[in-house]
Amino acid sequence: MPEGDTVFRTARRLNDALGGHEITRFDLRVPAFATANLTGVTAHGCVARGKHLLLRLGEMTLHSHLRMDGSWHLYRPGEKWRHPAFRVRAVVGTAERMAVGVDIAEVELVPTRNEEQLIAHLGPDPLAEDWDAAEAARRVGADARSIHVALLDQRNVAGFGNEYAAELLFLRGILPTTPAAEVDTAALLTLGARTIRANLDRPDRTFTGVNRRGQTTWVYGRANRPCRRCGTVIKSGEQGADPTRERVTFWCPSCQK
């Protein structure tokens, strides 16, 4: 699932592959920008903000959002793509590398001078250089909804998705239905920032410290299985409110009070 750490790594890979090179192929397979052509311009790099990718090409920015299923893949020119063409939404290539965006939910092309308008609504990002922990804690704590929903709202804090919300709340012993105003949001977000940064350079995201398949989470995806800490059966339910969609939540009734 693309969460903030996945998007950050994707931006780093695209930046390393395309940054500083001339664009020799540009193909956006979405109606609004199907005729756009940026071949010949220089790729200045790619940055992540929360779950948003900003690929700067000449004086334009290609904005993409991976949502649940989107991904970017790098190929050598002439190398066979691993995904069928009908799933491809964007192709940005140089003489040496080809970046192929697959199942991307949002694709937009805007002047770089206007890119801030695309992300101005986002809350502080724990992976950004300007991370403001106090402001993030204030926004989450001021949310009138449950803490799980408040964490998922990217206007409060950018980058945490459903897996992070479930795991961080377990680690802090907080029920996902707890009102956000009743939570020590400063401590929760300090843990969140430390955890997402620790996962940046890991090949597989882990919350338990174990990298073996099936042992990386405490509660996420483990409904009806015993808690790794106390043995109580993990529960699941659904929560959601605009602008977030309903998500399946996971918690341990014993460890999270």
Active site residues: 2-3, 51, 247
Give 253's contacts (C-beta < 8 A, 6+ positions apart).
Answer: 232, 233, 235
Q: How far is CA 115 from the centre of its chain?
A: 18
**Tokens 């009102």 — which residue?**
179
Angle at 163 between CA 159 and CA 164, to 5 degrees: 50
- Which pairing describes strands 52-57 and 60-65: parallel, antiparallel, or unpaired? antiparallel
What is the DSSP secondary structure assignment for residue 232, as one 8-state letter?
P
Alpha carbon distances (Å) from 80 to 18, 39, 98: 19, 22, 11
Q: Is 192 in a helix, a strand, or coil?
A: helix
Please measure the distance between the N-terminal and C-terminal CA atoms of the chain and give it in whole angstroms: 27
Q: Is 127 in a helix, a strand, or coil?
A: coil
Torsion angle of the four alpha carbons 69, 146, 215, 68, in this order, in degrees rounded to the nearest 10 = 0
Q: What is the Cα–Cα distance from 226 to 235, expressed in whole angstroms? A: 10
Contact 174/183 with Cβ under 8 angstroms?
A: yes
Amino acid at 162: N
